[in-house]
């Protein structure tokens, strides 16, 4: 996850270690033990004792109510908490007079019928108001929440393990269905605005960049991983989560897309193969899915990040190809 304080002056400051790199290291170490623990958890003799302890704490009024809902409430309660949690974390931010280019509040999906969630996001693209609206089933949202954040290590190198880890969700059916639903709505916008391939890539980028950044997870380093379905429904994400969503949209539309992992900077971005733009010797146009070129001291967004612009990251990029061949980014 990107340390925002580097973005003000363009020069490194004290680095804050964030979850992208640290969590991957923990995931690798825990890959095998996590599966065993999950199998044991349902039959453990301590499960009933733990449940009784939770009930006792609730009765005594020691545990904070919203925290309990966030932990045990499932998909419905989690969705209800997303907006309030982010608004609480953003409370007290000064008004610097600069209209943010990305929303400072999440736009979580709303339930429009039994088991059906409506995702509705409005933003500006090329000075035109854009609205993208579609539906995702609650079952797919729950399936995305239930997906593991672990993967077994089977003797592959660190780089190959990372590539497998970040490609696997492309094969999960609920992720594919949600991306397809989003793209049906985005193609309508493309047709209405008569966008060429490069402009359409910029539209997909704007769709993700204008989703707010998860300040809670940035500051705490904690929380459930949001795969693209979860990111779409909850309307908020980290650099890693927003990059996976954008990368998935581009890959589904046939762009020669990749994820760009910058481990030493605890950051992730997206790339599209290009004949005119490169990033550190790699033939990809760099896309920062986070969405803005700078944040003030309280996290208020300033300017959007155009495709091809990047910062003085120190990492050697690890390219995680999502589509081996496809449409390239060729701006006019």
Q: Do the Cβ atoms of 287 and 246 come closer than 8 Å?
A: yes
d(CA 269, CA 193): 27
- 150 Cβ partners below 8 Å, 6+ apart? 27, 30, 31, 34, 35
The tens-digit pLDDT sequence of the chain (332 residues) is 433 333 333 333 333 334 555 555 555 555 545 444 544 444 444 444 445 544 443 444 433 333 322 222 355 555 555 544 444 444 333 333 333 445 557 789 999 988 999 999 999 998 899 999 999 999 999 999 999 888 888 889 999 999 999 999 989 999 999 999 999 999 999 999 999 999 999 999 999 999 998 978 878 878 889 999 999 999 999 999 999 999 999 999 999 999 999 999 999 999 999 999 999 999 999 999 987 654 444 444 446 789 999 888 999 999 999 998 999 999 98
The single-letter DSSP state of residue 13 is -
Q: Do the Cβ atoms of 290 and 213 come closer than 8 Å?
A: yes
Q: Do the Cβ atoms of 272 and 320 come closer than 8 Å?
A: no
| pLDDT (0 to 100) of residue 52 | 53
Radius of gyration (C-alpha) of the chain in whole angstroms: 20
| pLDDT (0 to 100) of residue 4 | 32
d(CA 263, CA 253): 27
Which residue is it, tokens 């990111």?
Answer: 231
| pLDDT (0 to 100) of residue 76 | 55
| pLDDT (0 to 100) of residue 291 | 76
Which residue is it, tokens 């539906």?
Answer: 135
Residue 121: strand, helix, or coil: strand
Q: Do the Cβ atoms of 270 and 329 come closer than 8 Å?
A: no
| pLDDT (0 to 100) of residue 316 | 95
d(CA 257, CA 214): 24
Residue 211 parent element (H or E): none
| pLDDT (0 to 100) of residue 80 | 58
The size of the chain, in residues, is: 332
């Amino acid at each position: 996850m990107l340390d925002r304080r580097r973005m003000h002056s363009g020069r490194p400051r004290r680095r804050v270690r964030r979850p992208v790199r640290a969590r991957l290291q923990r995931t690798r170490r825990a890959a095998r033990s996590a599966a065993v623990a999950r199998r044991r958890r349902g039959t453990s003799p301590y499960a009933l004792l733990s449940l009784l302890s939770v009930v006792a704490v609730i009765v005594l009024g020691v545990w904070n109510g919203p925290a309990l809902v966030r932990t045990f409430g499932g998909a419905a309660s989690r969705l209800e908490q997303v907006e309030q949690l982010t608004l609480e974390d953003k409370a007290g931010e000064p008004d610097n007079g600069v209209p943010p280019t990305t929303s400072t509040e999440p736009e979580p999906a709303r339930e429009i019928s039994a088991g059906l969630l409506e995702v509705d996001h409005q933003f500006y693209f090329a000075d035109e108001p854009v609205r993208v609206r579609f539906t995702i089933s609650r079952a797919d949202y729950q399936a995305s929440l239930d997906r593991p954040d672990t993967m077994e290590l089977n003797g592959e190198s660190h780089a190959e393990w990372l590539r497998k880890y970040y490609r696997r969700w492309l094969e999960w059916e609920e992720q594919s269905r949600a991306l397809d639903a989003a793209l049906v709505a985005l193609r309508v916008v493309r047709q209405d605005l008569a966008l060429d391939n490069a402009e359409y890539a910029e539209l997909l980028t704007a769709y993700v960049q204008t989703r707010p950044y998860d300040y809670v997870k940035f500051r705490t380093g904690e929380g459930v991983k949001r795969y693209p379905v979860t990111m779409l429904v909850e309307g908020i994400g980290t650099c890693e989560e927003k990059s996976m969503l954008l990368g998935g949209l581009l890959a589904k539309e046939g762009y020669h897309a990749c994820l760009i992992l910058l481990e030493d900077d605890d950051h992730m971005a997206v790339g599209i193969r290009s004949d005119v733009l490169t990033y550190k010797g790699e033939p990809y146009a760099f896309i920062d899915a986070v969405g803005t070129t700078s944040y003030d001291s309280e996290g208020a967004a300033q300017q959007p990040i155009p495709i091809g612009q990047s910062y003085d990251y120190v990492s050697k990029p690890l390219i995680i190809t999502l589509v081996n061949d496809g449409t390239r980014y060729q701006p006019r």
